[in-house]
Chain A
Amino acid sequence: MHKILIADDDERITKGLSTFFPWEKFGFTVVGMVKNGKEAIDFIHQHDVDVLICDIRMPDGNGFDVAQRLKDENRNIKVVFVTAYRDFSYAKRAIDLGVCGFITKPTQFNEIENVIKRLYDPPEKSGSVSGEEQRISRIVEYINRNLANVCLSDLALYLDMNPQYLSRYFRQEMHINFSDYLLKQRMEKAAFLLQNTTLKGYQISEYVGYANVQDFSRVFKKYYSLSPRDFRHGKTPNV
């Protein structure tokens, strides 16, 4: 069980938070409630605390003062701020002080849950995105932006890569051929537009890169086993 100290000048909130939120369910237990920053520091000096949930605006030492003090004393306590109003300067200063999370007022239980779950179990994608992932997202973005006229050599030029290498790299990372992936994206886009818009067939065919509607229909039918017209009129593809 991780020990939590709650610091807020509004007693209703400290009481409510400690009483009604199911801390035990997530492996936490509330060990104390204090009214201001000074008391929080005193409590931490006397007790063993893992997590401090702390209002930013408090009399006698606000949230930033407390976080600064804990950082200076080099204590391994995770700080979560509770704030009514979140702006960029707050966020930047808080990150500099090593604050682990924000809970905005009025407090929503699911928000608390999200924040505390991440305290000891940070999600995989947080932190720096790897170069490979960045490159893959660039590729996907480029394909989606240029769906109508993208080709492997253009993409290779854009990424400054050798086309053969790119082709191999793509298959390895995405587990699908470049051309198959492109077809999939195009057909999915076409299916979306057919189902949800009143765009004409030739417009959709043009948007997804087919100058000729017949070509588009043929490819679409091969992919979904349904003609675009049938697809639009609600028949579900039997894939």
Chain B
Amino acid sequence: MFDRLWNKRLSLHILLVNLGSILLPLIIFCVCLLSTFYQNIYQRTKTECETLLNEYVKNIEAHVQELFFFDFSYGNNAKVTSLMSRQLNDGVISYADNKAIDIVNLFFYTNSKAKSYLVSSYFYYPNDQGYFFSSIDGVKRLDEYYDNDWLPEWETRRNDSWCVPRSMNQFGYTINFISLYHQLKNNVLFVHNINLNYLKNTYLNLRMSQNQQIVMIHQQYGLILSSLDEKGEEACAAIQSMQSGNQIMLDNQRYYVFSKESSLLNVVFHVIIPPRDIFQYLGDVRDLQYIFVVLIIVFVFILSAFHLYRELCGVNEIVQLFERAKKNESIQPTAKKRIPMEYRYIIDHILTHFIEKNYLIERAHAYKYRYDSMKLVALQSQINPHFIFNVLESINWSIIEQTKKPIAANAMIGDLSALLRISLTNPNEMISMAEEIENAKRYIRLQNAHYQNQIAFKWKVDSDSKNVSVMKMTLQPLIENCLLHGFQVSREDAQINLVIYTVESKTHIIVRDNGVGIEQKKLEDLRRFLTDMPDNSYTHIGLANLYGRLNVIYNQQATMQIDSLPGHGTTVHLSFPRQ
């Protein structure tokens, strides 16, 4: 019976192959689709982040420009500057000056108060006493002021404008700010302290998504401001150590980083955003995606099952065919319509081959039977040759004893034993043509003696052919054929002509008799018989046998041609390669 396990295995195999062949392209397709999708969303997020950063930079730089504008309007005004520098240098001023200073002072104070992002502003002009002007406290001596570490910074680095993150303690709590230094051409320095808390509250709360964070990093002083509170330093370090690409790890969480530099402030703004925020919009799409995948898998399974069913039908049909054939039952194919084309084709061919095989087996049995029976006959007829020759010898001498000298009978015994000797040795042996002709003559002598008639035997052999080698018993079947079929009725003028010649490396033997000849139809049958060699005929077996042996020895190079005219005789023309 067809192995169940094998069946299961085959099913699994077909299922896997089908699944693989359909699922694999689908998966590749989905992956490509999703990757473009993700890419697109990423690009969009990047653009959004960059827009946001631009917004920050623009806004903050707008404040700075505003302050610069103020600086320019005061610092480049000669009256104001001379007034201020006089006060800072001398400390002594006239009343009129005092009035003007009050006004300037008021403006200064108003400006710093009106701009909510400003903590304070300082005005400084280099002087010996170390005076400067504060928008909150008016003219002060630097060494007596609570916030006094800003000037050395300027001394070390005179530049147009720059900013430094600073902090100061006032009334018990710390204020963080950045000081924006602005030095004009006439050596006037403005310092604006910008409140970081204000910036943080105003700008850093502007977010696109929940987990998006903003980090402001000064190129020289490091972290200035971040929306991350206590994790700010960590994020800053991660961003600064970022080698390439735009990703950092923070708290085991991956973040994309998008950056924008403000050249005015030497500050870089970074937006960090985790991937899940970027792709949160995909949430809905992702659900659809899962449904889609499930649907595909279900579809593929159904398709595979259908294929499986068809293939199993075909395979089972073949297997059953084999089983039936094994049991020698009828092997008619069932007329199932579900069997696929290719299996139908295979089944048809298997059937053809089975039928052929059975036919061949039958033939082989028949041959074996015939071979066995022939072997039996051969065994039965196998008498020790020594015995035969010794008996013939005894007969030979008995005759001589009677007649006192050899007579025709002794010659007959001699011819007979010579022919016997030939037929007892290897029939495919090669002998010279002269010997073969001698044997043919013996055969004819015996035949003539036996039938008591005189068939004239004439032979013409060209000098060239006497030495050629020829297969043993080549002439005898030809002559036998003449005697059997040509001269069944005894005749006075019976004659057999034998012509042997060799031209162009082929030896030709022509045996011509003047017997009864062969009718046209029989002749055609005979010719067909020689080429086809069917095994169910028993006439002219000698000629067919001879032709077959010659073709084996001469490798299909022998030809045999039979011509006959009824009433006039028959000619057999044999040719084979000269050897």
Contacts and interface: CB of A to CB of B under 8 A. Distances in A.
Contacts of B510: 197
- Most A CB contacts (10 A, CB to CB) among B398, B462, B510 go to B462
Contacts of B405: 20
Q: Is the interface of B mostly helix, strand, loop or mixed?
A: helix
A23 interface: no
A62 interface: no
Interface string B562-579: 000000000000000010
B421 A16 contact: no
A16 B503 contact: no
- Most A CB contacts (10 A, CB to CB) among B395, B400, B401 go to B400
Contacts of B397: 12-13, 15-16, 107
A105 B400 contact: no
Given A13-B397, A84-B386, A85-B385, A106 B417 contact: yes
Interface stretch (B29-37, B327-335, B406-414): B406-414
A102 to B, nearest CB: 12
A196 B421 contact: no
Q: How large is the interface on A (under 10, 10 to 19, 20 to 34, 35 or more residues)?
A: 20 to 34
Contacts of B393: 10, 13, 84, 105-107
B404 interface: yes
A193 B501 contact: yes
B450 interface: no
Contacts of B396: 105-107
Interface in B507-566: 508, 510
A109 B395 contact: no
Nearest to B497: A196
A144 interface: yes
B501 A196 contact: yes
Interface in A114-150: 141, 144-145, 147-148
A111 B401 CA distance: 19
B423 interface: no
B460 interface: yes
A196 B390 contact: no
A129 to B, nearest CB: 14
B501 A84 contact: no
A10 B460 CA distance: 43
A10 B394 contact: yes
A93 interface: no
A50 interface: no
Nearest to A137: B467
B181 to A, nearest CB: 118
A86 interface: yes
Given A86-B421, A144-B464, A193-B503, A108 B410 contact: yes
A12 B460 contact: no
Contacts of B392: 105-106
A169 interface: no
Interface in A138-169: 141, 144-145, 147-148
B494 interface: no
Contacts of B390: 10, 84, 105
A85 B501 contact: no
Contact of B414 (A84, A106, A207): A106
A232 interface: no
A68 interface: no
Contact of A192 (B385, B462, B505): B462
B463 interface: yes
Given A106-B396, A108-B410, A192-B462, A20 B386 contact: no
29 contacts: A12-B398, A13-B394, A16-B400, A16-B401, A20-B400, A84-B386, A85-B385, A85-B386, A104-B421, A105-B392, A106-B392, A106-B410, A107-B396, A108-B410, A108-B414, A109-B406, A109-B410, A141-B467, A144-B464, A145-B505, A145-B578, A147-B464, A188-B462, A189-B503, A193-B462, A193-B503, A196-B460, A197-B501, A197-B510
Interface of A: 10, 12-13, 15-16, 20, 57, 84-87, 104-109, 111, 141, 144-145, 147-148, 188-189, 192-193, 195-197, 207
Interface of B: 385-386, 388-390, 392-398, 400-401, 404-406, 410-411, 413-414, 417, 421, 425, 460, 462-464, 467, 499, 501-505, 508, 510, 578
Q: Closest 6 CB pairs between A and B? A: A84-B389, A16-B397, A106-B396, A105-B393, A207-B503, A106-B393
